[in-house]
Amino acid sequence: MTRQEKIVSMFNDIAPTYDRANRVLSMGVDTFWRRKACDLAYGYCAGKKVDSIVDVACGTGDMMGYWKRRAQTSGMNVAEIIGVDPSDGMVGVGRMKFPDMSFYIAPAINLPKTDGSADIISISYGIRNVVERKEGLLEFNRVLKPGGLVVILEFMKNENPSALGRVRDWYMNNVLPRIGGMISKNYEAYRYLPDSIEGFLSVGMLQKELEESGFEMLYTKSFSMDISSLMIARKK
């Protein structure tokens, strides 16, 4: 089994408890991060009409729901929101939550969209799990229209943590795996989260990869003791 297959298998296993664990572990703060990402992205759009939003590594569809609700708040007319994820377990939960939305089981490096067909591609807390990340970013570029946006929410590696950052790291390494393990009955899956963050990129490193993949940065900010980072880039 490849590393990517192992990650997908892990998410299949925790899919039934994934939403509940997320709300508990983030103490609900992730709802702010998601709203902020959607509102900013809509603000960068040229007009009030969006043909297509593709949420990659969509999991159970949370971000898709935010795209829909924030469009209504922002007065945006969005024709299509689709979710793409390689985990059939996660997609199965998403389809039950959002029966009116379209989901596809596919990896980030092979999106079921034609060239230049999407206005926005989002990936929330999933870019760490794309083993062939650079290929994935190039795939995002392929699918986006010229001037289209890529919106990334992620837990990034903090190379020079502040005092609050060290508190974050302690929580991630000591509290999160225990609580996530109790809720999901899969300690290993929630041990994977802090380990994957430590082995991931810093904000600056991911920004460089985006630029090398044909994007220009529009917005970068970290929230809540640098727990979560938001990056928005435009296809050149």
* CATH class held by domain 3-156+163-235: alpha beta
pLDDT at 24: 67
| pLDDT, mean of residues 152-170 | 75
86 contacts 8 by C-beta, under 8 angstroms: yes
- Give the whole-angstrom CA distance, residue 151 versus residue 97: 23
pTM passes above 0.85: yes
Statement: residue 198 has pLDDT above 80:
no
| pLDDT, mean of residues 140-154 | 97
Type of residue found at 177 = P
Statement: residue 91 has pLDDT above 70:
yes
Domain coordinates in residue numbering, the chain = 3-156+163-235
- Give the whole-angstrom CA distance, residue 64 versus residue 75: 17
Statement: residue 184 has pLDDT above 90:
no
Backbone angles phi, psi at 208, to 5 degrees: -65, -40
Beta-carbon contacts of residue 183 (< 8 Å; ≥ 6 apart) = 17, 20, 21, 24
Backbone angles phi, psi at 121, to 5 degrees: -120, 130
Predicted confidence band of residue 224 (pLDDT cuts 50, 70, 90):
low
